[in-house]
Structure 1
Amino acid sequence: MNTELIQLALPVLAKGLVATILITVISVAIGFNFGLGLALMRLSENRYLAGFARCYSLLFRGTPLLVQLFLFYYGLGQIAFIKHNPFTWWVISDGTRCAVMGLALNTAAYTSEILRGGLMSIPVGLKEAAKAGGMSPLLRFRRIEFPLAIRQALPAYGNELILVIKGTSLASTITVLEITGYAKRLMSQTFAIFEIFAIAGAIYLVVNLTLIMAISLLERRLMRYEGR
């Protein structure tokens, strides 16, 4: 591979890496909290809340992320209420903000199912013991249910985080200059298709391997008392 091409590509793709990480962090932060709320709604005895969360999950997990991004970026602006509302227009008028919204809403659907599975895995007897000990529902959730659910859901949620990072590459289709967006620009300038995208792929691989190692360390730390 041409070293001059590498020297040209790396600084440019590094700028895209910053955008990729920023989009990922914000999307995951929003998506996790929203997904937790949806998971609690799914487990609620209120059939309307449970039904809403179920329909939301089916909608966002049943349609491609690319289609969702196109609908948000190109479609929502044609709705008069959204177009003339200052806040909603501020969100969808910028590709980066729209990508964050799309990824956050998408990962919230998957996160809700992952966390719901973690919450459902908690033994009923443990909940009853906490209730008998006088714990309020909020305290019981904060000290017992949520920590145990996270421990059970961490491996699956780690996979979801990796999918979010890879999903950021689709943001380039709505004018966002992240890693893939800058790679496309470099490709049109240098016509070195294989080399440019090989470097971009290597950057994604390094980021994901780093994340995998971090999740493994966290998982071992959370499981350090297992079996004792």
Structure 2
Amino acid sequence: MRINHTCPYCMKEAFNRSGMQSLSFRLTPHMLHDSGVHEIKCPRGHEYSVVLSAAKYEILYDLGMNALGDGYTRESVSSFASALERFYEFFIKFQMVNTGTTSELADQAWKTVSNQSERQLGAFTYLYLSSLGELPPELSSNDRGFRNKVIHKGYIPSVDEAIGFGKVVYNHIMLVISELEVKYGRQKLYEFYSNQLPKGGSSWIVSESAKSMNLSQTSGGTSVVDFDTMLQRFRR
């Protein structure tokens, strides 16, 4: 996955020179960085930041969709599975902050389970139950078996299998987001979300968002979008 960008300083200078209202610019690809922050220096020496303003689970899901579009079905399933785990992390930290725990303490607590997926799932399950009064959605035994077969046994899934798993993960995340919006309100959820986003350090920052999911965007008072609508965003 690449971040495509154009130097904003060069764009501004080009518009000032031409006096035109519309110009075409060539996009420069840049490999995605784990931090989401890309410090760029253009050939003319301008320095700026390109920031992918998205939660980690949103970025990972985008990676899965892009891999799927490029025909890398195994990589797409791996990214979808990672997106779900990172969403568990998002949920856990959100609920901890809701209890009055500082973000710093929440991060410290997370480190004790950061390398243990089963403990993360357990924390997610109990926090979901205690806060929302019901058991959370979970992968079926078939879905878990499929995921493990792909990730641990080298199985190469078909496109339909990869899309099917991606749909299960997507619907899980959307269902939980919907529950959080109802329970806590969009504003509270967005405030936590925005505090988790990466921040650039340059004086000029270019922000981009994830295509698959974006808690900063709403339609009809919700960030929830159905799977088929999301899928259309990646049609080529």
**Higher helix proportion (structure 1 or 2):** 1
Q: Is this a same-fold pair by TM over 0.5?
A: no
Larger radius of gyration: 1
TM-score by length of 2: 0.28
Give the TM-score, by structure 1 length. Answer: 0.29
Which structure shows the higher strand fraction?
A: 2
